[in-house]
Structures are given as C-alpha cells and as structure tokens.
C-alpha cells in the first residue's frame, strides 16, 4: 500500500502512548494526525517525550477527535469502554491498549475488574497477539492488545499446548518479574526512585488480573505471582509445569520450532553458550521480539519455561502496531523490524 494511512493516539502523553508515537513516526505506512492528552493539551509532544522533539505535533483534547484511519487508545482501564462509540466514529479501526476489550465475557469483568458498561462490544473485539490470533485479525475493526504479563506467559506456554504436551489439566506455577514502566507514568509512593531502586518486591502474590487472559486463551488455570524488580523495561516469566508423562528435549524443541519457526518476532533461546543462555529482557529491550526457552527437570517431573519481552513493546505498543499491520493488510513487520542494543544498561 503506497498511500499513507492516518493514525491517532489517545493518551499520547503516557509511557505507552509515547512508545506508540515513536513507532508510528518510523512506520512507512502511517502518518500521525493527532495525539491527545488532557494534562498536556497544547504542549508539544517533545515536551513530554524528549526522544520525539523532532515531531511538529502538539497534544490536543481527547474530546476533539479527528477522523483517522486507525485510532490507538492508550488509556487507563475503564476509559475506553466509556468512549468506544466516539472512538469508532472517529476511526475505521480502533486498537485499544487497555484491558477493556481483552476478555470475551461480561462475567469475567465482574470477577476480575469492576464490571463492564458495554459488554455488547466484547464479542466484536479481537485479541491483538498475532502469534495467538493472527487468523482472526485481518479486517478487524476493534482490536485489544494483551496485558504484558499475560503476553509473556502465553508466549512461553503456548507451544506446549500446540504440541499436546499440555492439556490444561496440569499444575502450572508462573512467576513474573516486571520493570517499573509497567506502572505507567503516574507517580506514586511505591514507584519513587528511593522506594523502587534495588527491589525484588512481590506486588501481586495471588489474584493478578492477567490470569483471566491466560485462562481464556490457553484454557489453563495458573498459580500466578508477579514481582516488581529494579529495571525500567521488561517482563520475564518463569513457568513451572508438571506434565502427566515424560517429555524430552527433542519434544520441547519440536514444540517451540513448530509454533514459532515462521514467526518474525519470536526467538527460542534454551541453554546455549555464552552469557545469555535463556530469555532475558535486556536482549529484547526496545524491540518487538519475544524470547522463549526451557529446561527439563526429570527428577521432579518438571518443565521450566522461560519467556522475556519488553513490556512496552511486545507487551503493549509493539503488539498493537503488529496487529494493526495484519488487520490492514500491511507488511506485518512494517515499522517494527529493528534490533535492540548490546550492551545496554537497565532496560
């Protein structure tokens, strides 16, 4: 497609909104038409995102949406469901990065969130993660990006279901480590540097909302714990799986190659040489790549599955752009086919 498509970003002043603007700025098929922010209305985008100072663009009010081809909405939970009619009036395709349309049933929102005010949209939405839902994305007009912790977990475990190593009845224990950017740009006591620096803090020992996505899209209940750790970008999931029968390394390699061998943004890293022998957030920081890997513990009849993503890229903005590319019949890697840095400090 040679003609540029117009794109808008609602909530453009947040961390994820800034990441969307960065990706759209470098995208060969998109032209940024609008970025909204209540707090920074009339301020330049570069005032908030210093890496985007070259953009001749100012934040506008979210009440004054321009008509665009694609609208990316990077809003807190609950906002998009209140304004979805206005969003769809403004754009042919809406890609929402909140939790508002990730789940398919109203009862799930009653259980995991605070209910849903427009459940009629839930069965119209498509989950954005292409490695899971690629076949349903072409032509979709409402797309919901997955949660970063759920994304990391799903990517790690999905090949075991694809290969029938897991059926969904097994015990699965998941421990996720996440960076500070997951908490968003809003300040809090817990996110201040003095409190956040140097920590390995369990902040969701049980009952994390992303369990709902994992259960829906993989069909397995997980024992799920999330730790906040001293990094800026990244989500790393370690999954402890106890299958019913013996599983060999050959079985595992076959499963991961079968699921991800043709995927442009997935890499399998499982016990090779060098320093980075398993998935590591630093290896994918700033990129749309996801890394997955595994190790076998035969003495305990356990599989240990690792996965790592950049929470703001593969876990949010990158996933959203990737899904939009597929929905609009663009080259799926457009605007995303760049590598990360090495060495790099805290991602």
Is 118 a residue of the active site? no
Single out the catalytic residue among 144, 148, 152, 336. 148
3-state secondary structure the chain: CCCCEEEEEECCCCHHHHHHHHHHHCCCCEEEEEEECCCCCCCEHHHHCHHHCCCCCECECCCCCCCEEEEEECCCCCHHHHHHHHHHHHEEEEEECCCCCCCCCHHHHHHHCCCCCCHHHHHHCEECCHHHHHHHCCCCCEEECCCHHHHHHHHHHHHHHHCCCCCCCCEEEEEEEECHHHHCCCCCCCCCHHHHCCCEEEEECCCCCCHHHHHHHHCCCCEEEEEEECCCCCEEEEEEEECCCCCCHHHHHHHHHHHHCCCCCEEECCCCCCCCCCCCHHHHCCCCCEEEEEEEEHHHCEEEEEEEECCCHHHHHHHHHHHHHHHCCCCCCCCCCCCCCCCCCCC
13 is in an annotated binding site: yes
15 is in an annotated binding site: yes
Residue numbers belonging to the annotated binding site: 13-16, 311
Residues marked as catalytic: 148
Residue numbers belonging to the annotated binding site for NADP(+): 13-16, 311
């Amino acid at each position: 497609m040679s003609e540029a498509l117009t794109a808008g970003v609602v909530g453009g002043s947040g961390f994820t909104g800034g990441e969307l603007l960065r990706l759209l700025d470098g995208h060969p098929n998109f032209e940024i038409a609008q970025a909204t922010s209540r707090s920074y209305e009339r301020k330049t985008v570069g005032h908030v995102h210093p890496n985007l100072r070259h953009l001749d663009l100012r934040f506008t009010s979210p009440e004054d949406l321009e008509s665009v081809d694609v609208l990316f909405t990077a809003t807190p939970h609950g906002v998009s469901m209140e304004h979805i009619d206005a969003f769809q009036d403004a754009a042919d395709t809406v890609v929402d990065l909140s939790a508002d349309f990730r789940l398919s049933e109203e009862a799930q929102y009653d259980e995991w969130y605070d209910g849903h005010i427009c459940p009629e949209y839930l069965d119209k939405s498509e989950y954005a993660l292409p490695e899971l839902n690629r076949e349903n994305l072409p032509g979709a007009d409402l797309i919901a990006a997955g949660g970063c912790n759920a994304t990391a977990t799903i990517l790690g475990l999905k090949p075991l279901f694809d290969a029938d190593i897991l059926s969904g009845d097994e015990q699965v224990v998941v421990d996720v480590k996440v960076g500070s950017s997951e908490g968003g740009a809003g300040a809090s006591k817990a996110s201040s540097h003095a409190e956040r620096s140097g920590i390995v803090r369990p902040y969701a020992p049980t009952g994390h909302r992303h369990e709902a996505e994992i259960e829906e899209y993989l069909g397995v209940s997980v024992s799920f714990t999330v730790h906040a750790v001293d990094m800026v970008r990244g989500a790393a999931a370690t999954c402890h799986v106890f299958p019913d029968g013996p599983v060999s390394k050959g079985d595992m390699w076959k499963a991961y190659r079968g699921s991800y061998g043709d995927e442009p943004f997935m890499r399998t890293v499982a016990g090779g040489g060098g320093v980075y022998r398993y998935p590591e957030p630093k290896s994918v920081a700033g990129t749309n790549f996801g890394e997955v890997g595994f190790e076998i513990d035969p003495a305990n009849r356990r599989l240990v599955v690792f996965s790592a993503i950049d929470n703001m890229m593969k876990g949010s903005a990158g996933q959203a752009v990737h899904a939009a590319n597929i929905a609009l019949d663009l080259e799926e890697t457009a605007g995303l086919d760049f590598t990360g840095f090495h060495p790099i400090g805290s991602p």
